């Protein structure tokens, strides 16, 4: 491809349809390596190129560096289906090793050209959209840790081949301390030759995790807009312009593409989008997708972006100065997780917006487990990042999550800076965010007290004894382990755990499903648990619980493990 035809290709952002590429592939003879039956299931891999593991990764995959003929494996996003049983023992070994190392089928990926073409899957109305000539350009930041060569380069080429080059200010690959040899020794040279002068690799001096790795990339970036991507994605035709156009129009918009799936087995890619909106689960601080039904979907235009409460986190564009002003990312977060909710809450609460643009499609390779080392335990890292988010942004709602952790928050470091940031930006409350962005979210009532309910006379605690709703209730010696002795006293005067509430029925204490008519209690200064607006108190006699006239005795005084300060 000479310079001239390359620039023709730039004009035409739909990439492979351009004359330049068409010519290129006509030149290339059908190669016997690509013994694939188009749209059929079996790839016969005779003349395999995957021979020696010792040859340089780059030499081994040399054949991938070209545009392949249309019937080559995986072209146009077609699946590569390999019948593992038909591979030689040596190939099977390699197949398994590569799957284990990546949690996806690298063996299949290594058969697909790093320049593979993808179909244009946009809504027809998107194809009619026009964009200003002078859109601002973007620095694209891609972090990786031990990413497979063919997948990483396909990420890069999918960007270079399907974006107008003048809109790419630079592509910054941030190597988060990979130990795969070829990433350290071959990548820079390959990209110097094949990166159209746009790609630079920067490396973290130690393993940082994706959040600080992104921050390193951000520190190097000079484009007007930042675009973050994962290291195993493929961009569809026309993906970039809609993102940049929305940000250019209003710098407080954070815009994400529709995310399609790349199969971890066959590397098939195209037109299977996952979810329409981002949400999250407050009790475990996990990200979730919401799928809109047809009518809800129809309410959105075919080519109009829609607002989303949260973003998945990996793929989005944002004005760089605005990213700075809004406090970038929380530097104290490790390895993986939490940063997507943190930036989602922050952007909405501090005056910006998050949206998904239906005309921008990027595919992401989803895998069922994380293949790389995390250092510390999974659980500790996720908890640390989530607690940092909750502590700074979630006001009294953080207790919903903390209760589930039994208030064992671990060492989450110092968040003073982040709290200062929130004050400085004058951000709205988390309650506002939930009410505005997620009005249908089901929340437990806010608790004023929680934990054990301990009688002051005998050190006995309310205990469900494993009973289900509908039964009488008892007290037994306190065991300080939460579990069946964990209750919440809510702002509405309910004493509850999960969906069951304590209620007074003619002087007996019952455990019932929380409904509108359950007893409302009052926790008094004298430490009585009184039925609101009555003279009746929760009373312990031996192990039996009842609701009797208040008498100021110790058998009617109770303490809670914790008072929840807002
Ligand atoms: O220590 C690490 N250092 C890294 O550089 C760990 C990871 N990484 C890189 C990694 O190589 C990859 O490029 O960070 C990126 C994300 O890690 P993945 O791909 O292992 O995880 P993921 O796809 O599950 O990540 C999703 O959630 C993360 C939470 O911290 C980030 O927000 C990711 O960007 C996010 N990915 C997406 O949103 C893509 C769409 C998937 C969905 C849903
Ligand atoms: Mn990913």
Query: What is the CA(233)–ligand 2 centre distance, in A?
Result: 8
Q: Answer yes or no: do 136 and 261 share one domain.
A: yes
Query: What is the CA(534)–ligand 1 centre distance, in A?
Result: 56
Residue 236 lies in a domain: yes
Provide the whole-model pTM: 0.80
Which amino acid residue places its CA nearest to atom 33 of ligand 1?
Answer: 314
Which amino acid residue places its CA nearest to atom 11 of ligand 1?
Answer: 144
Which amino acid residue places its CA nearest to atom 30 of ligand 1?
Answer: 337
Query: What is the CA(280)–ligand 1 centre distance, in A?
Result: 17
| Residue where a domain stops, chosen among 365, 396, 417 | 365
Counting ligand 1 atoms within 8 A of each CB, the residue from 104, 209, 230 with the most, and so the one to mutate, is 230
Q: What is the pLDDT of residue 221?
A: 98
The ligand with the least distance to the CA atom of 259 is: 1
Q: Answer yes or no: do 131 and 53 share one domain.
A: no
Structural domain containing residue 544: 447-563
Which amino acid residue places its CA nearest to atom 39 of ligand 1?
Answer: 314
User: For residue 501, what are the CA distances in angstroms to 90, 482, 529?
Assistant: 62, 17, 14
Q: Answer yes or no: do 135 and 273 share one domain.
A: yes
What values do phi and psi take at 131, rounded to 5?
Answer: -125, 150
Residue 249 lies in a domain: yes
Could you give the CA distance from residue 231 to residue 176 in angstroms, rounded to a whole number? Answer: 11
Residue 116 lies in a domain: no
The ligand with the least distance to the CA atom of 342 is: 1
Low-confidence ranges of the chain (pLDDT < 50): 1-53
Counting ligand 1 atoms within 8 A of each CB, the residue from 159, 218, 312 with the most, and so the one to mutate, is 312
The whole-chain average pLDDT of the chain stands at 88
Which amino acid residue places its CA nearest to atom 14 of ligand 1?
Answer: 210
| Residue where a domain stops, chosen among 365, 383, 406 | 365
Q: Answer yes or no: do 230 and 257 share one domain.
A: yes
Residue 288 lies in a domain: yes
Q: Answer yes or no: do 289 and 342 share one domain.
A: yes
What values do phi and psi take at 210, rounded to 5?
Answer: -70, -25
Q: Answer yes or no: do 549 and 483 share one domain.
A: yes
Q: Answer yes or no: do 196 and 325 share one domain.
A: yes
Residue 269 lies in a domain: yes
The ligand with the least distance to the CA atom of 210 is: 1
Could you give the CA distance from residue 134 to residue 166 in angstroms, rounded to a whole number? Answer: 9
Domain total of the chain: 3
Q: Answer yes or no: do 101 and 140 share one domain.
A: no
Query: What is the CA(262)–ligand 1 centre distance, in A?
Result: 14
Residue 4 lies in a domain: no
Residue pointed to by tokens 């520190």: 219
Q: What is the pLDDT of residue 54?
A: 53
User: For residue 496, what are the CA distances in angstroms to 219, 520, 555, 562?
Assistant: 49, 11, 21, 15
Q: What is the CATH number of the domain that holds 555?
A: 2.80.10.50
User: For residue 151, what are the CA distances in angstroms to 112, 366, 434?
Assistant: 9, 12, 38
Q: What is the CATH number of the domain that holds 322?
A: 3.90.550.10
| Residue where a domain stops, chosen among 109, 135, 160 | 109
Counting ligand 1 atoms within 8 A of each CB, the residue from 101, 314, 372 with the most, and so the one to mutate, is 314
Q: Answer yes or no: do 340 and 484 share one domain.
A: no
Query: What is the CA(106)–ligand 2 centre distance, in A?
Result: 15
Q: Answer yes or no: do 130 and 99 share one domain.
A: no
Of all residues in the chain, what percent are helix, strand and coil, respectively (each to 5)?
Answer: 30, 25, 45
Q: Answer yes or no: do 481 and 548 share one domain.
A: yes
Q: Answer yes or no: do 277 and 312 share one domain.
A: yes
Atom of ligand 1 lying closest to residue 232 CA: 13
Residue 35 lies in a domain: yes
The ligand with the least distance to the CA atom of 155 is: 1
Tens digits of per-residue pLDDT, 157-189? 999 999 999 999 999 999 999 999 999 999 999
Ligand 1 pocket list (CB less than 6 A): 143-145, 147, 176, 209-210, 213, 230-231, 259, 312-315, 335-337, 339-340, 364, 370
What values do phi and psi take at 62, rounded to 5?
Answer: -50, -45
The ligand with the least distance to the CA atom of 229 is: 1
Q: What is the pLDDT of residue 14?
A: 27
Residue 436 lies in a domain: no
């Amino acid at each position: 491809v000479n310079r001239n035809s390359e620039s023709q290709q730039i004009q035409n952002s739909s990439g492979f349809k351009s004359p330049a590429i068409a010519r290129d592939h006509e030149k290339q003879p059908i190669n016997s390596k690509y013994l694939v039956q188009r749209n059929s299931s079996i790839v016969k891999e005779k003349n395999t190129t995957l021979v020696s593991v010792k040859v340089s990764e780059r030499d081994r995959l040399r054949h991938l560096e070209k545009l392949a003929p249309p019937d080559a494996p995986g072209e146009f996003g077609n699946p590569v289906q390999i019948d593992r049983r038909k591979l030689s023992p040596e190939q099977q070994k390699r197949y398994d090793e590569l799957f284990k190392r990546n949690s996806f089928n690298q063996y299949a990926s290594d058969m697909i050209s790093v320049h593979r073409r993808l179909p244009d899957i946009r809504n027809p109305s998107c194809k009619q959209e026009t964009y200003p000539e002078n859109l601002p350009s973007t620095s694209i930041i891609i972090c990786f840790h031990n990413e497979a060569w063919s997948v990483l380069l396909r990420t890069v080429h999918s960007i270079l081949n399907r974006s107008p080059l003048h809109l790419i200010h630079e592509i910054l690959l941030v190597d988060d301390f990979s130990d795969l040899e070829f990433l350290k020794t071959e990548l820079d040279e390959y990209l110097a030759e094949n990166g159209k002068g746009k790609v630079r690799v920067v490396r973290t001096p130690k393993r940082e995790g994706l959040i600080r790795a992104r921050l390193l990339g951000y520190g190097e970036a000079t484009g007007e807009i930042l675009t973050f991507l994962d290291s195993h994605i493929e961009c569809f035709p026309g993906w970039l312009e809609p993102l940049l156009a929305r940000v250019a129009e209003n710098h407080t918009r954070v815009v994400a593409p529709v995310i399609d799936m790349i199969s971890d087995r066959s590397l098939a890619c195209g037109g299977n989008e996952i979810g329409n909106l981002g949400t999250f689960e407050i009790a475990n601080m996990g990200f979730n997708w919401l799928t809109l039904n047809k009518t809800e979907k129809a309410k959105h235009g075919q080519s109009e972006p829609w607002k989303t409460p949260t973003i998945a986190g990996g793929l989005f564009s944002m004005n760089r100065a605005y990213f700075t002003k809004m406090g970038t990312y929380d530097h104290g977060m490790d390895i993986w997780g939490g940063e997507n909710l943190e930036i989602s809450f922050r952007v909405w609460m501090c005056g910006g917006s998050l949206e998904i643009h239906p005309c921008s499609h990027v595919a992401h390779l989803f895998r069922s487990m994380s293949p790389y080392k995390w250092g510390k335990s999974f659980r500790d890292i996720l908890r640390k990042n989530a607690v940092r988010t909750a502590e700074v942004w979630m006001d009294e709602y953080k207790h919903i999550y903390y209760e589930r952790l039994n208030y064992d928050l671990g060492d989450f470091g110092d968040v003073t800076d982040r709290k200062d940031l929130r004050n400085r930006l004058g951000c709205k409350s988390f309650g506002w965010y939930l009410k505005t962005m997620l009005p249908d979210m089901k929340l437990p009532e806010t608790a004023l007290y929680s934990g054990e309910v301990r009688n002051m006379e005998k050190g006995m605690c309310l205990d469900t004894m494993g009973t289900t709703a509908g039964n009488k209730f008892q007290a037994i010696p306190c065991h300080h382990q939460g579990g069946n002795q964990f209750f919440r006293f809510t702002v509405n005067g309910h004493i509850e755990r999960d969906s069951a509430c304590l209620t007074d029925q003619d002087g007996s204490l019952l455990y019932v499903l929380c409904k509108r008519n359950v007893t409302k209690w009052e926790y008094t200064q004298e430490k009585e648990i009184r039925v609101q607006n009555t003279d009746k108190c929760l009373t312990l006699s031996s192990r039996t619980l009842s609701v009797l006239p208040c008498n100021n005795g110790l058998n009617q005084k109770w303490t809670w493990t914790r008072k929840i300060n807002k």
